[in-house]
């Protein structure tokens, strides 16, 4: 963004980084507080998770160091803002919130997640507008976006399905009465919904012929 002279975007991204640092600290402190701070969570990284977080995400972000073409930026915003934040993180936060609010547990981290969601909303909207301004009036880039989202979706849903399966297995193997109620389809359905919402938000740019019309509609 800085190389392109997009000062406002560059300034926003500095706040973006600050937000992510706060989120990391919050979850790290919570993990330590509940006694799982030293747990190796990589044991829960299945092949779908690795495809997104070990490959697609770092590849797309690192590419921006040397390539800030529209295609490179679209792919980076798609994997980071649309899939990682807009589908996986949102689905995880939603499920966690629903489960533990109903159980009356973890009020502190739930409040933290409520604050965090306000940050995430800004991040996702930034990604949406970034992609919209690059695809408006350009069907080839629209296709690039949709094709890449569809490619990533198979792996994103694979992450969701894996986590749901772990929760179901844990419940089946537990002999302890618990007030925690997990509905397997809740997370699945929410993830599907978020995926289609992200794509539809980008498709709204089809209403405009060019960037000037899009920016005029967005307002000052």
pLDDT at 22 over 70: yes
Tens of pLDDT, residues 84-93: 999 999 999 9
Give the pLDDT confidence score for residue 54 in this predicted structure: 98
- 220 has a pLDDT exceeding 70: no
pTM of the model: 0.93
Q: Which long-range contacts (CB under 8 A, 24 or more apart) does 46-50 make?
A: 46/158, 46/159, 46/162, 47/158, 48/154, 48/155, 48/156, 48/157, 48/158, 48/159, 48/161, 48/162, 49/155, 49/158, 49/159, 49/162
Whether 30 shows a pLDDT value over 70: the answer reads yes
Q: Which of 7-11, 87-91, 109-113, 134-138 has the lowest mean pLDDT?
A: 7-11
| 83-128 pLDDT, tens digit each | 999 999 999 999 999 999 999 999 999 999 999 999 999 999 999 9
- Residue ranges and CATH numbers for the domains of the chain are 46-215 (1.10.620.20)
pLDDT for residue 16: 94
C-alpha dihedral, 57 to 58 to 60 to 62, nearest 10°: 160
Coil/strand/helix, residue 78: helix
């Amino acid at each position: 963004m800085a190389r392109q002279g997009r000062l406002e975007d560059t300034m926003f991204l500095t706040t973006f980084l600050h937000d992510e640092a706060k989120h990391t600290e919050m979850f790290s402190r919570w993990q330590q507080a509940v006694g799982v701070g030293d747990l190796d969570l990589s044991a829960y990284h299945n092949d779908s998770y690795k495809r997104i977080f070990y490959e697609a995400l770092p590849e797309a972000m690192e590419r921006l160091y040397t390539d800030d073409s529209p295609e490179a930026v679209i792919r980076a915003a798609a994997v980071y803002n649309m899939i990682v934040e807009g589908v996986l993180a949102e689905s995880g936060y939603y499920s966690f919130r629903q489960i533990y609010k109903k159980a009356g547990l973890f009020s502190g981290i739930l409040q933290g997640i409520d604050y965090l969601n306000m940050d995430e909303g800004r991040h996702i909207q930034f990604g949406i507008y970034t992609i919209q301004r690059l695809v408006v009036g350009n069907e080839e880039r629209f296709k690039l976006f949709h094709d890449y989202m569809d490619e990533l979706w198979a792996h994103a849903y694979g992450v969701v399905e894996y986590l749901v399966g772990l929760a179901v297995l844990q419940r089946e193997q537990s002999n302890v009465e618990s007030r925690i109620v997990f509905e397997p389809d809740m997370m699945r359905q929410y993830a599907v919904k978020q995926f289609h919402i992200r794509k539809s938000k980008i498709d709204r740019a089809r209403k405009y012929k060019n960037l000037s019309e899009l920016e005029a509609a967005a307002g000052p």
